[in-house]
Chains A and B, each alone.
Chain A
C-alpha cells in the first residue's frame, strides 16, 4: 500500500477510476503514513480520522456509480490557514489554538466538490509569516530531505512548510498552500516538489486566514506539473464572496501540460543574478535555459529594473496589511484570551501571549509604516514601487511569453541557522516576491540537486491569466530535468 502513495495524483486517479484501489484504502494508507511520519517531520497540526474516512467512503460511493470529480478519492493535506469545517484551524498560532470554524473555505470546498479527501491540516509559519516553518506554535517542520552524509535537520522552507514536507515525503498526493511572498514556491524548491500560485484572484481567499490581502495567493503543492495543474484547476474559479476574485472562466490547465513549447520566447532577467548567490543556483538556472533552448524556445535577455526594490516594498506592504488583518485576534469573540486588569491590559496580555515574536515584529512594522507622518514615506512609496514592478512585467511580457529564474537563492538550510536574523530570512523571498507584488502566475519546478544532494527549483513566471503557458514551460523543464528524485526515507 505504501507504494501506492509514491504514485502521482494523476496516476492514482487512474487507479481509483479503474477500481484498482478504493478511496477508503488510499485514505487509510495516507492517514497512517501521515501519523507515522508525524513524530519525525512534525508536518501536521490536526487530524480528523472520522472526517477523512467519511469523505473517502463517499468518494467510493461516487466512484462505484461511475461518477466522480477531477480529484475523486484523492487524499490531500490542507495548510492550517484554510478553514476546514469542524477541524482545528489555528494558522499555527496560539491565539487561535483550538479554533474550529463552522465554515469551509471556498478553495477547500472546491477541492471536496472535486472529490478530494481531507487527510490532515499542515503546519506553517505562524500566520504564514516566515520562510522556514520555524515560527509555528507546534514547532518547526523537518524537511524530509537531508544533505549527503549529514544528519542535520533542514527546514522545508516556509511558510507552507508542512504542506511541502507532506507532499515531498509521499504522505499524500497534493496539498494546499498560500503564497504571499513565496510561501509556496520557496518550500517547493526546498523539498523537490512543484509549487504554484495562479494569477491574483484566480483562487478565492474566502475562508483563508488573511495575512496580506493584496498579496495572498492560495495554490497547490504537487509531485508533478500535471498534478499541480489539476489541483489549481480544481481550486480556481470566481467566488462572489471574495470581491477580488476574478470573474474569468478557468481554462483546462492540465491540457496545457505536455504541449510543445517550440517558438515560445523565454525571458532571462539579469536582475535575478544576485550577489552572493551560490554558483549551483546559477548552474541550475543555466541548465534550465539550455533545456528550453533545446526544446525550441527562444531565449531573450530581459531587464526587470525595479526588482531590487521589490523586497523592501514587500516588507512594507505585507506587514501593513497584516497589522490591520490581525487586529481581529483580540480575544473577544473567539480564540484565546488572557484576562488583564482592564480592557487595554486584556488586549495587551492576550496578544502578547497569543502571537509569536515574528508575528509581533510584523504587526509593529506594519503599524509603524501606516502611522501618521510615516504613511507617505513608507506605504505610499511602496505602492509606487509596486506599480513599477507591475510595469516591469508588462514591458517584459511585450517581448517574451515566460520568464525563467531560480525559485530561491539557496537550497534548504539547517533549522535554527537563520532564525535569529530576520533580514537573512527575508532574503529567501528575493526571487519570489515580485510575482506577488504584480499578481502574475508563477511556479517552482524541481530542476536538479545541488552537490550535497538537495533539491533546487526553477521559477516560471507568465503574464496575468496565462497559467497555461506557465504549465507548458514548467512541464518542459520537468521533462528535461528528469528529476524523479525522492528524499531517502529516514522518518
Chain B
C-alpha cells in the first residue's frame, strides 16, 4: 500500500480514504428485463413503453432470458460465483417515474456472488478489487424537471430496462483507484458485450461510498472484517463520468475530514455531486431514508439456473482484457505498457490484432498506439469512426516491414489513406513513393553532395553528429524515398570511413 497510499493531511495528522462502489450497468439487450418493449437510446419520449412498463392494471412481469444470460456472463467475467438459485424482490417506494410503485430487484438472493477483478493505476501498477455481488433490477423512468416551472414530465422509455448492480467491497483507496476500477469494469463489460459502458448515455452510473479514517485503521478492518474500524460513510449518488468520480471523492473526503477535525461527526447520508460547482450536497439523511419494505415478488418464480447452461456460457466467453494483455506480452512480445494500452479497449485491441495479423506486432502496436490514436485524439474521433480501416493500416505496416517504404514515407501514405482512402500498396506504386534501396543511386547522390559541400563534409568528420544535415539533403534530393538505413550506412562509410 505504501507506494500508492493516498493520504490527505490534516491538523490532527494524515487521513486515508476508503471507498466501495455500486455500479449500475444497463444490460445490452433489445428488450427490457420483464417486458418485450424495445430499449434503444434516444427514442422519442414514451415510445418504448409496454403495458407492463406503464404498470397498467393486471399486467405481470416475465423474465427476459437473454438478460439472465448477460448477467451470468458478466458474473463469470468478474471471476465471481454464479448463484444457481436467486430471487426477485420488490423494493417499494412512490415516485412518478416508478410506475409500479416498486422496483423489481434482487435484494436477498442475487444472481452473482463474490468475485474479484484486477485494476491498473495510472503508473501501471495493479491492485485487486473484490466484488461483493451482482444483481439484476429494473431501471426507473426519467423525470424531467426543467421543461416547465410548475410540473415534472416523465419519460418511461427507460422504465423497466434491465440493470446489473455491481457492488464492490471497500477495497478502493484513492480517487485514482476509483476511476481505475470503473474503467476496468467498463472494459470487461464491453469485452463481454453485456454493457455499452457509455457513461454519458447513462449506460453506466456509479454510486460512490466514501469514508475517511486514520492510517492503520483500514488494515485493522481488513484483518477483522469489522466495519467499526472505518469511518461513517456517505453515499454519493449517480456520478456519471470518471473525472467527476475523482472530483466528487476529493471533495467529499476533504469535507468529512474538515468535520472530524472540528470535532464533529459525519452523518451517514446520501449525497449528490454537483458537477458545475464540484461539491457534494445532502440529498437525504439516514433518518429520512426510505423503508423499502422488501419482500419476494409474488408475480415471479425464483430464478433457477442449470449448471450445464452456466458451463456453456463459460465455455463461450471471449478472451478478456487481462488474458489479452498477457498474450500480447508473452506471444507478441509487446511491452507491458503497450499491451495494457491496447487491451484496455476492446475495439482498439481488435483493430490492433487485425493490423498485426501475420506482421511485425511491435511495429503494428506503434502505428496503432502512436500514429493512429494520436490522429484520432486530435480529431476527437473514436476507433469505430476511424476513416482508416485495420486492413489499410495493416497493408501500410506490411510495406514498412518489407522495406518498400520508409517510416517517413509511411506517414505521408497514412495521410493519404486518412484523407482519400485507397489501398496503400497501390498508392505507393502509383505515386512513386517506393523506397530507393539501390545503393548505387544513393551513393551517386551522396558523392555529388560531398563534392558540392566540402566544408560541411569536413565539419562532420570532426563532429559526427552534424551528419544529420547530409541525411536531410539526401532525403531532399531523393524526395524522401531513400532507404534511411542505407543512407546512414553510406554516409558513415564515405564521411567517417
In-complex Cβ contact of A103 among B56, B63, B100, B298 (8 A)? B56
Does A328 sit within 8 A of B, measured CB to CB?
Answer: yes
Contact stretch, chosen from B88-96, B169-177, B414-422: B88-96
Interface size class of B (residues with CB under 8 A): 20 to 34
B60 at the interface (CB under 8 A from A): yes
Q: In the complex the two chains form, is B101's CB within 8 Å of A343's CB?
A: no
Q: Given A330-B94, A332-B154, are A244 and B62 also a contact pair (CB < 8 Å)?
A: no
Residues in chain A near residue B54, CB distance under 8 A:
333
Q: Say how far B290's CB is from chain A's closest CB, in angstroms.
A: 10
CB of B300 closer than 8 Å to a CB of A:
yes
Interface centre among B55, B92, B100, B295 (most CB of A within 10 A): B295
Q: How many chain-A residues does the 8 Å CB contact rule pick out?
A: 43
Cβ-closest chain A residue relative to B63: A243
A-B contact count (CB 8 A): 96
- Indicate if A101 sits at the interface (CB-CB under 8 A): yes
* B56 and A101 contact, CB distance less than 8 A: yes
Given A324-B101, A330-B94, A332-B96, A241:B60 Cβ within 8 A: yes
Nearest-CB residue, chain B, relative to A372: B291
Closest partner residue, chain B, to A326 (CB atom)? B101
A377 in contact (CB, < 8 A): no
Name the interface residues of B36-90: CB closer than 8 Å to any CB of A. Answer: 51, 54-63, 90
Tell me the bound Cα distance from A330 to B90 in angstroms: 17
A371, B292: Cα distance in complex, Å: 8
Q: Is the CB of B62 within 8 A of A371?
A: no
B60 contacts A324, C-beta separation under 8 Å: no
Interface-located stretch among A110-118, A202-210, A284-292: A202-210
**B56 and A243 contact, CB distance less than 8 A:** no
B293 at the interface (CB under 8 A from A): yes
> Would you call A467 an interface residue if the criterion is a C-beta within 8 Å of the partner chain's C-beta atoms?
no
Judge if A462 is at the interface, Cβ distance under 8 Å: no
Q: Is the CB of A347 within 8 A of B94?
A: yes
| A residues near B90, Cβ cutoff 8 Å | 324
- A323 vs B61: C-alpha distance when bound (angstroms): 18
A91 touches B55 (CB 8 A): no
Alpha-carbon distance A275/B100, docked complex (angstroms): 42
* Most A-side CB within 10 Å, residue of B56, B62, B102, B294: B56
Q: A324–B94 Cα gap in the complex (Å)?
A: 10
Please judge, given known A-B contacts A243-B63, A243-B299, A371-B293, whether A327 and B101 are in contact too, CB under 8 Å.
yes
B60 engages A205 (CB within 8 Å): yes
Residues of A314-349 contacting chain B, CB below 8 A: 320-321, 323-324, 326-328, 330, 332-334, 343, 347
**Is A371's CB under 8 angstroms from B291's CB?**
yes
Nearest Cβ on chain A to B52's Cβ, whole angstroms: 9
Please tell me if the beta carbons of B57 and A83 are within 8 angstroms of each other in the complex. yes
The answer to whether A101 and B293 have CB atoms under 8 Å apart is no
Cβ of A214 under 8 Å from chain B = yes
Q: Does A143 contact B (CB under 8 A)?
A: no
| A83-B291 contact, Cβ under 8 Å, with A243-B63, A321-B298, A327-B94 | no
Q: Does B99 contact A (CB under 8 A)?
A: yes
Decide: A206 near B298, CB < 8 A? Known: A324-B101, A328-B99: no
- Measured between alpha carbons, how far is A326 from B59 in the docked complex, in Å? 12
Contact flag A324-B293 (CB < 8 Å), given A330-B101, A343-B96 = yes
In the complex, which residues of chain B have a beta carbon less than 8 angstroms from the beta carbon of A367? Answer: 293
| B58 touching A240, Cβ below 8 Å | no
Residue B301 CB within 8 A of the other chain: yes
Q: In whole Å, how far is B45's beta carbon from the nearest beta carbon of chain A? A: 14
Structural contact, A210 and B58, CB atoms closer than 8 A: yes
Residues of B within 8 A of A210 (CB): 57-58, 299
Tell me which of B58, B99, B101 contacts A206 (CB under 8 A). Answer: B58
Q: Within 8 Å of chain B (Cβ to Cβ): is A236?
A: no
- Taking the complex as formed, is A212 at the interface, i.e. its CB lies under 8 A from any CB of chain B? yes
Contact of A96 among B55, B57, B60, B99 (CB under 8 A): B57
For residue A105, which residues in chain B have a CB less than 8 angstroms away from its CB?
Answer: 58
| Residue contact A212 to B298, C-beta cutoff 8 Å | yes
A480 CB–B CB distance under 8 Å: no
CB distance from A342 to the nearest CB of B (A): 11
Residues of B within 8 A of A326 (CB): 101
Q: Which 9 A-B pairs have the closest CB atoms?
A: A327-B101, A213-B298, A370-B293, A214-B298, A328-B55, A207-B58, A209-B57, A372-B291, A332-B96
Other A-B contacts than A89-B57, A206-B60, 20 sampled, CB-CB below 8 A, are A82-B58, A205-B60, A207-B58, A207-B59, A208-B58, A210-B57, A214-B298, A243-B60, A243-B61, A243-B63, A321-B298, A324-B102, A324-B293, A328-B55, A328-B57, A328-B100, A330-B101, A332-B154, A333-B55, A379-B295
Chain B positions within 8 Å of A, measured between CB atoms, are 51, 54-63, 90, 92, 94, 96, 99-102, 152, 154, 291, 293-295, 298-301
- CB-defined A-B contacts under 8 Å, sample of 21: A99-B57, A103-B56, A207-B59, A209-B57, A210-B57, A213-B298, A241-B60, A241-B62, A242-B60, A243-B60, A243-B63, A244-B300, A323-B293, A328-B100, A328-B101, A330-B94, A330-B101, A332-B99, A343-B96, A371-B293, A375-B295
